Amino acid sequence: MKIIRPYFIIEDSIDGEEILRRIERAGRTAYKSEHKITPDSAKKFVKMILDLGHESVIEHEKVTVRVICDRGISHEIVRHRIASYTQESTRFCNYSKGRFGNEITVIKPCFWDDGSKEYKIWRDAMENAERAYMELIKLGAKPEEARSVLPNSLKTEIVITMNLREWRHFFKLRTSKRAHPQMREVATSLLQAFKEKIPVIFDDIGD
């Protein structure tokens, strides 16, 4: 059994300044004010439309991210409706095969220290789940049948595409202190990466 921490990969090559310029070109259509576009007008324009609440304009731009997390957290992610998802399938992935290392991979809980009693109970449960899964496969069970014993902590990969307005909504909910700790673990670091890559759009969220 392999234990890993969650992480993400931004699949798109992001040019944040160009994204703002495209949003400005789209947004100025409403006012027919394209003549006001200058080399440095995009940031000011995008901030203005966000301050006014005209967020439909930023729906013209999207970002795709690959998130590696546990299946419990992936179930929360897919609650966001305005998005496209492709996820690692426990129906078709046979973790007893060599390409998976003949083992399951699980996500380490961020809320228990390695030496704690809680962590030991969790780890024992994961090892038992792996053992049961492998035994079922050896008995001839299909992966879609054997997956019944797999835990929420099982590692999954989910590719997510959202427009920028939906990403804003995602981050407002999922970086909140009321969000699940493992969701915040992923969402807060992803939000920081978005802030670094795309000016203005996410500056008012978090912190």
Positions annotated as catalytic residues are 174
Cβ atoms 162, 63 nearer than 8 A: yes
CB of 112 within 8 A of CB of 122? Answer: yes
Could you identify the residue written with the tokens 């729906």?
A: 59
3-state SS assignment for residue 116: coil
Residues facing residue 106 across a β-bridge: 3, 154
- Tokens read off for 63: 């970002």
| Residues facing 107 on adjacent strands | 4
Is residue 153 within 8 Å of residue 107, measured between CB atoms? yes
Distance CA 95, CA 5 (A): 19
- The DSSP bridge partners found for residue 142 are none
